[in-house]
Amino acid sequence: MGYVFDFKTARQYDDWFNSERNRFVADLQDQLLVRLLKPVAGERVIDIGCGTGRHLEMFLNMGLDVTGLDASPHMLEFARKRLGVRAELRRGVAEDLPFDDNTFNVATLITTLEFVEDSQKAIEEACRVTKDRIFLGVLNRYSIKCAERRIKGIFSESIYNRARFFSIWELTRSVRQILGKTPMRRGTVQQLPCRFRGYTKHIERCSLVQKSPLGSYIGMAVVLVPRYRTSNIRVDYVRKPKGAVSGLMSTGTNSRKRG
């Protein structure tokens, strides 16, 4: 099992969204998710590593049927307070989902892969329980913000000290190993530190800028293409006899006997 948030870190995670600066970052990430994933009202979605339920609430407001799963009971408690009975919440790990194949239309893993024990297995499980699309949202190892987090982590304890960061190429390679060359859409946001948001807030929302591989947050939507295993059908070939057609040969023989 990967890192499981305790009560203190779960509360810190929920409180993170209270500042204007962090809400700006979260809004950029959410806009990228919606642009790439294109969720449709009525679809069934599972948020794997749902945390305190913020994305579940966003999906509910968009008319989706939502299910959340998290390994932390403290995260789920915050989610229940936020959502009440509007969402199904389950405790479990991303590498072993307690759902049947093709249960959901959409699966999301939003800053989840950073804290699981086996990220490849987590992606495989998301693909197994989903029939249409998955969305992966991860922190970018090659961004300026990641460098800042690593430096801060040297001098003080941080949740990011327990996280694994990804690159857009690494994430693409992981998906290709599981699904082959399946269609995908990807992008990044927060190209520059948040302190410059007064100057960059409009530029950050530009889809052309979001094609950069160096933003702080990577979003990737993957279309699941059905694949079927087939086998060759054996057909026994019977060689025809050479010379006259067998039917005519029989007729001729019978005629001679009658004569």
pLDDT exceeds cutoff 80 at 242: no
Q: For the whole model, what pTM was predicted?
A: 0.83
Between 125 and 21, where is the model more confident? 125
Type of residue numbered 133: R
pLDDT band at 146, cuts 50/70/90?
confident
104-110 and 44-48 as β-strands: parallel, antiparallel, unpaired? parallel
- Average pLDDT of the residues in 216-229: 85
pLDDT exceeds cutoff 60 at 180: yes
Type of residue numbered 82: R
- Residue identified by tokens 């998710």 is 33
pLDDT exceeds cutoff 60 at 247: no
pLDDT band at 37, cuts 50/70/90?
very high
pLDDT exceeds cutoff 60 at 256: no
pLDDT exceeds cutoff 50 at 34: yes
Start-to-end CA distance of the chain, whole Å, equals: 91
CA dist., res. 64 & res. 86, Å (int): 11
pLDDT band at 253, cuts 50/70/90?
very low
Cα dist. 241→238, 244, 249, 255 in Å? 9, 8, 11, 21
- Average pLDDT of the residues in 98-108: 98
pLDDT exceeds cutoff 50 at 175: yes
- Residue identified by tokens 């987090």 is 149
Q: Which helix (H) or strand (E) holds 70?
A: strand 65-70
Cα dist. 87→63, 90, 118, 159, 223 in Å? 12, 10, 27, 27, 25
What is the Cβ-side half-sphere exposure of residue 255, based on CA atoms within 13 angstroms?
6
- Average pLDDT of the residues in 184-189: 96
Check: CB of residue 189 under 8 Å from CB of residue 214. Answer: no
- pLDDT at residue number 258: 45
pLDDT exceeds cutoff 90 at 111: yes
Calculate what percentage of the chain has a pLDDT beyond 90: 67
Check: CB of residue 112 under 8 Å from CB of residue 92. Answer: no
pLDDT exceeds cutoff 70 at 155: no
Architecture of the structural domain at 7-232: 3-Layer(aba) Sandwich (3.40)
In this structure, the dihedral spanned by the alpha carbons of residues 23, 26, 31 and 36, taken in order and rounded to 10 degrees, is 180
What is the Cβ-side half-sphere exposure of residue 72, based on CA atoms within 13 angstroms?
24
Q: What average pLDDT does the chain have? A: 88
CA dist., res. 68 & res. 49, Å (int): 7
pLDDT band at 149, cuts 50/70/90?
confident
Is 115 buried (19+), middle (13-18) or exposed (0-12) by CB count in 10 A?
Answer: buried
| Sequence spans of domains, the chain | 7-232
Lowest pLDDT segment from 25-39, 104-118, 215-229, 230-244: 230-244
